Amino acid sequence: MGLFDALGISGSGLTAQRLRMDVTAENLANANSTKDANGQPYRRKEVVLQEASSGFGAALANAQGGSSPAGAGVQVTGIVADATPGRQVFDPGNPDANAQGYVTMPNVNPVTEMTDLIDASRAYEANVTAMQSAKQMFSKTLDLLR
Amino acid sequence: MDLFDPVQNALTAAMQGSQVRQTALADNLANVDTPGYVRKDVDFHDALRAAMGSGSSDVSSMDFTPQADTSAPVRADGNTVDVDAESSAMAQNALEYDALARISAARIDILKSAMGVS
């Protein structure tokens, strides 16, 4: 109830955006990995976000006739591999080249990853600002008791 | 005569509404990248105005449930959150809460001095 919800919601946003940054960093780090653990070219990964459903506390409050909460933040439902085919590069000297001398590179586009990275970091900042704002409101409430 | 007059109760209710709005706006910002998310907002001014107009300032009877805002422009991924709009709404809400808290504190101070508690 109240402002502590806002802190938790912003916290879920921070977690989600940080995970997006981690996954983007992994994509960039593997931009030239022609082999993953299964011997296949690396596939770029993407984070799937979903609006979090209200938890037990909210259900209890509803059952007791209280007001429904303003939200429960965001949750990560999974990290999925991007299925778009990787580009073919002619490099007969590469040990991963096929019979025609072509190597299948990962489907990582550095430009996409960089924009994703900027997007995630801006969204992270927005969540930090929201958290600070809620914190300030809370301390204003505490000031009433002085 | 009650210790807390209708104005004090209305201030409390407005602060509660502002808190719920802060939570709703925080939820919008947390879901800025969630496909298909529709932004939420709380019009607690309207709820307060309705309650004050009907002559009641009963805090417990006021309903500050966040409503889905379908008027906002929809992005290609179905999301309607605009970070700039949310941030400015949040700044406005925080200032409003600050003002309400200060007025509330001043009124409590008046009550305290009337009771002889410093």
For chain A, 146 residues long, give each residue's pLDDT as a single digit of tens: 567 788 889 999 999 999 999 999 999 999 988 888 888 899 999 999 998 876 666 666 666 665 556 678 899 999 999 989 988 999 999 888 889 999 999 999 999 999 999 999 999 999 999 999 999 998 988 888 77
Q: Cβ of A50 and B20 within 8 Å?
A: no
Q: With an 8 Å Cβ cutoff, is B12 touching chain A?
A: no
Q: Cβ of A51 and B34 within 8 Å?
A: yes
pLDDT at A38: 87
- Cα(A95)–Cα(A97) distance, integer angstroms: 6
Q: Which residues of B fall within a CB distance of 8 Å from A6?
A: 19, 22-23, 26
Q: Cβ of B63 and A67 within 8 Å?
A: yes
- Cα(B84)–Cα(B67) distance, integer angstroms: 20
Q: Which stretch, A57-61, B57-61, B114-118, has highest mean pLDDT? A: B114-118
Q: With an 8 Å Cβ cutoff, is A108 touching chain B?
A: no
Q: What share of chain B is helix, strand, coil (3-state, %, to 5)?
A: 60, 5, 35
What is the ipTM score, two decimals? 0.78
- Picking from A3, A53, A122, A127 by the largest number of B CB atoms within 10 A of its own CB, the best residue to mutate is A3
Tokens of A138: 């809370």
Residues whose CB is less than 8 angstroms from the CB of residue A27 and which lie 6 or more positions away in sequence, other chains included: A44, A45, A108, A113
pLDDT band at B66 (very low <50, low <70, confident <90, very high): confident
